[in-house]
Amino acid sequence: MKETVLVAGFATRHVARSARRAGYRVCAVDHFCDVDLEWTVSDYEGFLELADLPAAIDRILLRNSIDHVILTSGAEMAICPGISRAGTDPEAIQPFLDKSATQSFFSRLAVPHPDRAGVGDYPVMIKPVCGAGGWRNAIIRTEEEKNEWITGFDLPYICQKFVEGMPASVSCVSDGRRAVAIAANEQILRGSGDSAFGFAGSITPCDHPLAHEMMALAERIVAASGCIGSIGVDFVLSDEAVAIEVNPRFQATLDTVEGSTGANLFSLHMDACSGRLPLDSPKPIRYSARRILFAEKDCMVRSRLDRFSAITADIPHPGTEFTEGDAMISVFGYGSSKDDALSMLDNHISLIRQYLK
């Protein structure tokens, strides 16, 4: 009989689909509950705010016998008593949900990372101490801009010296003591507006000259982190590979990693949780690119986009309303080269945009 896994977090479609392909019966607790999540899972619960997530987990546990729980972004610290947690314990996760603690970890490990900015030391990267996705990160060039950011967000923050370069990441699996890099990824950011550093997609593999150095460094970081399962490390590739953050959970790059390597990350994650790691990194067989499309203004999707499921994911239901800046749908492209993959991606984006107007 197939084991049943519960995937819970703000966005779970990518993990749930990988788990389904790995042969598991899947239940999910998810904020979006898109069309393709519903196709994938046997049961699901939605929630609006993260404060509502524990109650949604309780409701789905009443209806299902769960063998393992996998917690994604926003749910990392959730507790599900009596159910096997396939991943890192909360105590080991906690330091990596705090960017100040992560910086201290990098310092102890003596890996390149952005230094804290001194008073009047501009430009700087300002970011909330807690939070994922880079949505509130900003480059600050003056004291006035800094004060505006602090007033606008009213959150604990950290200021680091700004490092210019390519945003990138490495997807690893770890048994808590050892780590193997699965893939290096180029990250696509929003690039403009208040969410300029927000995650907007990825390209796998990353073919930057420092990619192999970055992968080796990521293995050292993850092995020292004590985290278990699928773990990611974000970098900026400048004159060297500069470590930015550790993501102690499945990453948003999962789609392009699987699309490029043919590996099943959920199987690798579950094996790592049982102490089994692959002997080596899988070889990429093609380039895989994903781009998230965002609402350019307040709107409602009226078209049935599930007919484009071969080239899209995170498919909204007809009648779904979006506020300007909201993530609407993911679009994919593939090819034997990066240029080919991006060309296909651009063609697919042009097609899908017709139905988002």
The span from the CA of 268 to the CA of 78, in Å, is 23
Mean pLDDT of 177-191: 96
Instruction: For residue 167, give the amino acid letter.
Output: P
Residue 1, exposed/middle/buried by CB under 10 A (0-12, 13-18, 19+)? exposed
Question: Is residue 229 a contact partner of residue 86, using CB atoms and an 8 Å limit?
Answer: yes
Q: How many CB atoms lie within 10 A of CB 350?
A: 10
Give 210-265 pLDDT, tens digit per residue. Answer: 999 999 999 999 999 999 999 999 999 999 999 999 999 999 999 999 999 999 99
Domain 4-86 CATH (choose: 3.30.70.20, 3.40.50.20, 3.40.50.300, 3.30.470.20):
3.40.50.20
Q: Each residue of 91-112: pLDDT tens digit?
A: 999 999 999 999 999 999 999 9
Does domain 166-353 fall under CATH 1.20.1440.60? My reply is no
Beta strand 320-322 with 299-301: parallel, antiparallel or unpaired?
antiparallel
The residue extents of the domains of the chain are: 4-86, 112-161, 166-353
d(CA 155, CA 126): 11
What's the CA gap between 254 and 342, in Å, rounded?
Answer: 18
Per-residue pLDDT tens over the stretch 276-299: 999 999 999 999 999 999 999 999
β-sheet bridge partners, residue 166 = 237
pLDDT for residue 310 is more than 80: yes
pTM, rounded to two decimals: 0.95
Matching CATH topology for 4-86 and 166-353? no
Residue 1 is predicted with a pLDDT of 63
